């Protein structure tokens, strides 16, 4: 059963937020940078292959052609993220048993105010042995969502 304390507007933190990797989320066809939280230290070497269609589309959009294959470290360790407070912007129940929540949360300012440009993170809770899931989470209260 999903954690009833977790809802849109919940202010949350976790030491595990320090560990993650750079990813992207598709919000209404807008490609948004996001840190996928996995709570695991280390590098995140990603090997990608790109089709000719993807390479041409990228070249048209960015005036730079992608290679056929690419290897890069997408690791995004940030110790300050592990002690920062985030607000849940989106939360959905996932999987057939409905006991896992897919969460998108945005980093609040040091004065615990909402910043639409704050870092965006994504993770599953509770830990389901999936690559980007979190085991320990603290709720610090709630704020009225003024975000979309």
pLDDT band at 4 (very low <50, low <70, confident <90, very high): low
pLDDT band at 114 (very low <50, low <70, confident <90, very high): very high
Check residue 28 and give its pLDDT: 47
Sign for the pseudo-dihedral over CA of 105, 110, 116, 120: negative
pLDDT band at 1 (very low <50, low <70, confident <90, very high): very low
Identify the bridge partners of residue 21 per DSSP, sorted by sequence position.
36, 75
pLDDT band at 93 (very low <50, low <70, confident <90, very high): confident
15-30: pLDDT as tens digits? 999 998 888 665 544 5
Check residue 58 and give its pLDDT: 86
Say whether the peptide bond before residue 65 is cis (omega within 30 degrees of 0): no
pLDDT band at 49 (very low <50, low <70, confident <90, very high): confident
Q: What does each C-alpha distance from 97 to 53, 91, 94, 135 come to in angstroms?
A: 38, 16, 8, 18
Domain extents in the chain: 10-41+77-142, 46-73
Q: Rounded to two decimals, what is the model's pTM? A: 0.76
Long-range contacts of 122-125 (CB under 8 A, 24+ apart): 122/23, 122/25, 122/34, 122/35, 122/36, 122/37, 123/36, 123/37, 123/38, 124/94, 124/100, 125/3, 125/6, 125/100, 125/101
């Amino acid at each position: 059963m999903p954690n009833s304390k977790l809802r849109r507007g919940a202010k949350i933190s976790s030491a595990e937020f320090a560990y993650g990797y750079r990813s992207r989320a598709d919000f209404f066809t807008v490609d948004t940078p996001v840190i996928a939280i996995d709570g695991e230290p280390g590098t995140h070497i990603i090997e990608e292959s790109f089709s000719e269609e993807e390479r041409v589309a990228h070249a048209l959009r960015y005036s730079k052609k992608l290679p056929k294959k690419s290897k890069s470290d997408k690791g995004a360790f940030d110790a300050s993220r592990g002690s920062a407070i985030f607000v849940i912007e989106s939360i959905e129940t996932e999987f057939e048993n409905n006991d896992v929540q897919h969460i998108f949360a945005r980093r609040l300012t040091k004065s615990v105010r909402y910043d639409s440009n704050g870092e965006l993170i994504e993770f599953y809770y509770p830990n389901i042995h999936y690559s980007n899931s979190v085991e320990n989470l603290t709720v610090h209260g709630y704020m009225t969502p003024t975000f979309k």
